[in-house]
A and B are shown apart, each in its own frame.
Chain A
Amino acid sequence: MRKRLQARRLDRIDHNPWVVFTKLASECDAVNLGQGFPDFPPPDFAVEAFQQAISGDFMLNQYTRAFGYPPLTKILASFFGKLLGQEIDPFENVLVTVGAYGALFTAFQALVDEGDEVIIIEPSFDCYEPMTLMAGGRPVFVSLKLTPTKDRELDSSSDWQLDPTELASKFTSRTKALILNTPNNPLGKVFSKAELELVASLCQQHDVVCISDEVYQWLVYDGCQHISIASLPGMWERTLTIGSAGKTFSVTGWKVGWVLGPNSLMKHLRTVHQNSIFHCPTQSQAAVAQSFQREQLHFGQPSSYFVQFPQAVQRKRDHMIRSLQSVGLRPVISQERRMPDLPGAVDEPYDSRFVKWMIKNKGLVAIPVSVFYSQSHQKHFDHYIRFCFVKDESTLQAMDKKLQEWKDELGA
């Protein structure tokens, strides 16, 4: 074929780091602490909910309402309405998507135009940049920076902060949106109220839409509190809040996500949705609805999964911190789950080479944090690697074994 085949919107976005690392992980017999998903079962009530959805009314095998299975949109509206202190209409303010990934895509496609600027806080989940580019937008990066630790032995993700002046300087008349991720992947940072107020005031001052990726909202530790920026004064009207059933109920494979927001923005997401995938699968939506209904009954109580799960995962986090320290790696304590990082150990960023070496030689998989940075900033942050700790005890023990072997080799 003579013609150039692909559309120009695919330029610069065809590369995907996960493909490389997942492939490598599957080829080597390594303990996989790389890709972010649990290797233990979801809670029983979620599994039961799915069982019921598929053995119930056979019409659940057919299409449901395009913008979201009504019982799901209703429970999301009521559940998050309370959390955000906002009246949420299940039909105008809620859109169900194929994972939070699909929600992000829909938001970018709906609102970002050729030449629009999108502020991305680094390190960031790697899809924000290509999604901005695919929509013809211009990513504008601002980095979280480690402020010197006081007396603490270990860095905390809260020590990674935005410089307010620097952040303000990134806003221009072309800024269409800012994408916020709290709790943050990969750092685990939970943005404080003061930090969110700073972002909020700049968004309002410059009339910018805030896309708030809050998929890890339930996984906060050490008594930290997750705050949704949409709940701050003046923010509901300009915020799209994204959530994930996969991260909420440890069912990443169900690929159910959602967006909450004002109708003035949501109507544009609905237009993209009806012209891209139109409907999401029915039965998984029914299962998520039932799971939320269960959590609504248990909300705030010790029996709530949203209470138990972060407690269990915090223990895993602490286990991993100790294990990494024992071999001389210096983790950043996450206020959020999953992401102790590692400073330390020099084209292809150093951390990427390090990870490949580690997979092959030490039997441990992690993800280089430079994956979460734009190309121009990678060289400043190329000595961190990300471990996922939402893993079964047996996996963490296998990790300990590998780390011990590594330590013994170093000691020799």
Chain B
Amino acid sequence: MIHSLFLINAAGDIFLEKHWKSVVSRSVCDYFFEAQERASEAENVLPVIPTPHHYLLSVYRHKIFFVAVIQSEVPPLFVIEFLHRVVDTFQDYFGVCSEVMIKDNVVVVYEVLEEMLDNGFPLATESNILKELIKPPTILRTVVNTITGSTNVGDQLPTGQLSVVPWRRTGVKYTNNEAYFDVIEEIDAIIDKSGSTITAEIQGVIDACVKLTGMPDLTLSFMNPRLLDDVSFHPCVRFKRWESERILSFIPPDGNFRLLSYHVSAQNLVAIPVYVKHNISFRDSSSLGRFEITVGPKQTMGKTVEGVIVTSQMPKGVLNMTLTPSQGTHVFDPVTKLLSWDVGKINPQKLPSLKGSMSLQAGTSKPDENPTINLQFKIQQLAISGLKVNRLDMYGEKYKPFKGIKYMTKAGKFQVRT
């Protein structure tokens, strides 16, 4: 399926290549460079590019293009999903996935890639298994290896590969047994000029960090499972029990993983926690425009809105902006025309605002559209959909684990049209 993989950085250099079948010349990437040139931005490079003898499927993450070379028909999502899994694995192994990191750990990267695919077909993609085959580099292990001459490579087949729970490694031991669950909800919304909601929906995930000894069997139940409109699970979740009882029952992987993602549909009324008052105007005659925005809390259930960042892509005609924020800091990049204002916390008594003027290029006419405002924010200890975890039980092991649940609401793609 997947013939070869090329990693290309922002400057257009191929800094890593890996072939699973016979070698494909790197000149095949020239077609990719062509496409890259045609698309003005990296984001606009098409994920599927046909060439006379091959097909190039790519994903763009962490400023790196991961380009897979395919020779014949294959479900494109298969390859794309796999490439994303590769990036996730690198991130898991090295903490960050960057060109420098990959170059520094090129041998581990190569060994991992070797295990992930055989003849272009995925072999081991669970990070729990990969980590048993090839141990991630740590400072301690590097030191130990140099002294004792031991290696990073496991010589036994990870038992997970064969068991019914391939995602969990065996022989897990902890002195402190703990299981943390983060319920994180993101609000995607489009708010129109007048402040009314055009569309709003909630996308939630439950991320878990489970460090439990042995083979624990967990169940997690909700107070109000009916809220969840559409869900997708980590393979460890027993689907039948969810269907019949709306309970999440699973033997967790070891470490960090995403247990569940869910969707609360647009049909339910979504509480919008913030509002934006804006007054942005350009005048035809003068080369100055007015700019004024105020951010305030709306339906926050008594919680503080923090981590607020306002960004806006200003029209090309704007040369510079002279602004004064009532709090926080702001930056305007005259090249990319991106305005970004780091607001911080919203104090309901004293609403943060950003006021000032814009200078426009002389001679150009006024832009026909006002810029869209993108909002980021965080609210701790609140799941905006009202989802509540009822209880978490553990079976199969004797000890008493420490359990923790955290809720958080964030802005997803939150846009205000002006």
To the question of whether A and B form a pair in one complex, the answer is no
Q: Which A residues have a C-beta under 8 Å from some C-beta of B?
A: none
